[in-house]
Chains A and B, each alone.
Chain A
């Protein structure tokens, strides 16, 4: 991207000011007070908070308005609704751009200054209130005070510093800040994305023992390094990677870090708890998540998570398989396709239009007599207060079950279904080359091997996958345990 000359000049000034504002040895001795305009720019934050910045810069928060799938979907949605979508998408994907009047519909993001792209440092750290818990009803102070989770933050000349329960990962309020954008209700009234609602209904979101916040899992704690300027303030920092399932499909900083972090988080929190043979050829696989929301979650109408199950004979030959989907391959094929998989266990939402017919794109989703919610959901549910048993079962019928010497079962997930992406390619809104960049993650905690004569499942966790070193060592190869 070619940066306009004046923007480049402003950016240079911001960096110079920020470097002057921050003494890397002591954040409290800044000699410059940053303006609100300067604080709006993440580059300003980078000077004093380089690790946080680097993590954020690789995150989906930074990528939110750069994501070509978002851009394609917004473009098509605006076109097909005659602009009625308005700022529905971009209000969460580039909230400061909307609030600074740099865009009204996200169709001009190429012209939006870089410092307003994505979900920025200022947007989160200037939050002072949350109204409705969906569609970004988040209130900013619009001042020069940056809020955080430290109870007694050291004061700096650079900006005001305050404790805020919205930023305290141990406080319930912090879940509202996440929930503000991680629950989405469409203009047609369909509760499309329900991550926060799922969380609130789960044991994680109750006041019982078991309470945990969003960031308890998605902002891992890490020790401040010996050279980290924050070490004097707090020995424990919190990652700003927010791994989930979405990834950068285009060149972006530290893509490998984000993918490794996602692989770890997904793998550690799902499991196949049981494979049971009824003695008559029916094998039932019990799958559950330990996450504080359903899985998959968020844009679950676009996500695809499925069980790959392969049964082997004693000689190693495959006698049954389901869900063996190659990278880039369409997940759910039509019944007349030679590779149609009638046993495929797929976890996702399905959306319907006002006539009750299947829909592909979220703006088509509507409530109908046939589907009063506008969607049907089959997702791994989070644990709730009253149902510790929260597994779902996938059932497979295998001929000659006595031939089965072993079964491998793996849970796999893709952030976006190939059918959705192909649809966007077909409409001319998405570059077909990007489809090859869409990863398929294996959830290693839910990868097991069953043998008929063994009471316990064998875990198939890769020997070379160490978490969190898998991603932390990419960020800092010199860190302990990174040999």
Chain B
């Protein structure tokens, strides 16, 4: 029974598993259906089919893409998704992201960028840049091809083959003249030459202009073409290798189809967002460190900072200026502004995240169930959302079986007030020392996932909450404080949907806090013989029998451990596959590898553990046992000197 309960309560590593803070990095809005929003996130894709009232999540494992990359994506007229992964060839989904398949015509080509025809959303162009040859000096020639589909990605044809001497980066079509196509890229490496290829006849013929780029520049991105003037375009120049937007970037404008450029603006760190207003008179750009800037698109007036929003994407349509922010510092992951960025209405908050509702539940579940437990629930429960185990939920759009704020009240007796939530976020930002991002309340804050096949009351997680608490108490009795903490925290989350009492917010920022180095928080248990840690899945536990140093010290430590099953019985079939150290507060691993060896007793292990600096660390032990199962055991350790 206990094992079953623990199975429900598996808690996998935090959302930072791929090294990036969870959040949205791009937004696509279907041209044919303004209610269909698609956000690319660091933990997969999230979609809304109701204009942002509810959000459904596809884990990155289901698409086989890494959250460390930001693959270009687009929505066609019929809702098909086109995604250009960092690894592998173009992927298409025709069932809202539940399943993905390659496009045979593009299978041998490295797709780089895509654009939806502004006048015909079933017409999509994809540009590919595939290595052809590399000469003895390392000079690369590419097979540069533009493909198009005119039937919502059902079939693809070659539109144009471009010169082979440059690496393509972006593709854009002029809204006012769809036969005008721009392709940008770089040639040479030192000096780096920016290349703009322009076609006036839908790809039949091309003219090239070049732009000298300063050292340490990464590339040349065409970011937009004026909706009324095909000769006016905006380009961004990021830094070399700067996938995460850490270095200065420049914004340039050309009014003569790329023949010449003028500097229009820049950011001290990455310029991850750029958008042009629908009428082309205004532009917006920004980045996660620089904030949001808005001004006249032609540079005829000042482009002014309007917000400290940590911009990770921008999109501007008739509904307003959409922006990706960074929770929790920003009060939303996607918001929309109707006042030129002065204030935003939250559209997507990570607490809104529910798993995708897929017809082929089995294959989707196989890929995403574990990530939901490990990542999705954490994301959804970091705020005021209602994270519930996989088996007990399904996304709810707020219609039948409405799980809006009223349902939250039914569960826990308290209703999350959207305004209060936003105010809380603003409070956080203020405490953080940063100006606030003004927001407007949203109609649909609160729990947004409901139980499968049951009325909403039956779907409440109260029962699970009680079970979680029971397990927590059991663990307390067994002095496994960490597991009790996890179970109790889950209990609070399950019980506390939208309840202020369930807050997981960090303590208020004290001006004096941090003036002194404090090795570790009090929550880290005393490091002593007999210290226990139960695996994330509750299958295997480890007991520290001895260590070379108490307390643990910087550099090398030798530990002797015993591995048992959940009830404390020695496991004679256990195999340890990896021992590594991780420093959560800095998000890095220690010196690899930790050496380890099995002792005479098969359940005993001697490991040499390396800590590279003082502070709080995790020692992560991956173990496998045919009788008990696989598990990840984590010791929280404080390293003092």
Contacts and interface: CB of A to CB of B under 8 A. Distances in A.
Contacts of A335: 190
Contacts of A290: 583, 586, 588, 612-613
Contact of A389 (B244, B511, B593): B244
Interface stretch (A36-44, A80-88, A214-222): A214-222
**Interface bracket on B:** 35 or more
Contacts of A273: 19
Contacts, number: 168
Interface in B178-204: 188-190
Contacts of A130: none
Interface stretch (A47-55, A67-75, A136-144, A373-381): A373-381
Nearest to A278: B87
Interface residues of A, number: 69
Nearest to B131: A281
B21 interface: yes
Interface in B569-587: 583, 585-587
Interface stretch (A183-191, A205-213, A246-254): A205-213
Nearest to A173: B515
A432 B248 CA distance: 37
A376 B215 CA distance: 8
Nearest to A203: B586
Given A172-B514, A397-B131, A216 B614 contact: yes
B479 to A, nearest CB: 25
A203 B612 contact: no
A383 B586 contact: yes
Contacts of B518: 211
A211 B518 CA distance: 8
B323 interface: no
B240 A236 contact: no
B515 A280 contact: no
Interface in A161-210: 169-172, 203, 206-210
Nearest to A400: B134
A207 B517 contact: no
B523 to A, nearest CB: 11
Given A208-B514, A280-B131, A342-B139, A389 B216 contact: no
Interface stretch (A24-32, A405-413, A460-468): A460-468
B131 A388 contact: no
B585 A203 contact: yes
A282 interface: yes
A216 B514 CA distance: 14
Contacts of A221: 554, 641
Contact of B587 (A269, A280, A383, A467): A383
Given A268-B612, A376-B216, A387 B288 contact: yes
B517 A388 contact: no
A399 interface: yes
A399 B133 contact: yes
Nearest to A294: B246
A297 to B, nearest CB: 15
Given A170-B517, A279-B87, A388-B20, A342 B138 contact: yes
B598 to A, nearest CB: 20
Given A277-B87, A383-B586, A343 B516 contact: no
Contacts of A399: 131, 133-134
Contact of B243 (A212, A391, A466): A391
Given A378-B239, A387-B21, A350 B215 contact: yes
B208 interface: no
A290 B16 CA distance: 16
B110 A278 contact: yes
B425 interface: no
Contacts of B473: none
A262 to B, nearest CB: 15
Contact of A207 (B134, B245, B513): B513
12 contacts: A172-B514, A208-B509, A208-B514, A267-B591, A278-B88, A279-B87, A343-B138, A376-B216, A378-B241, A381-B247, A386-B310, A399-B134
Top 3 closest pairs, chain A to chain B, by CB: A207-B514, A221-B641, A388-B587
Given A276-B66, A378-B240, A387-B244, 9 more contacts: A210-B615, A269-B613, A278-B110, A387-B245, A388-B16, A388-B20, A391-B243, A397-B131, A468-B555
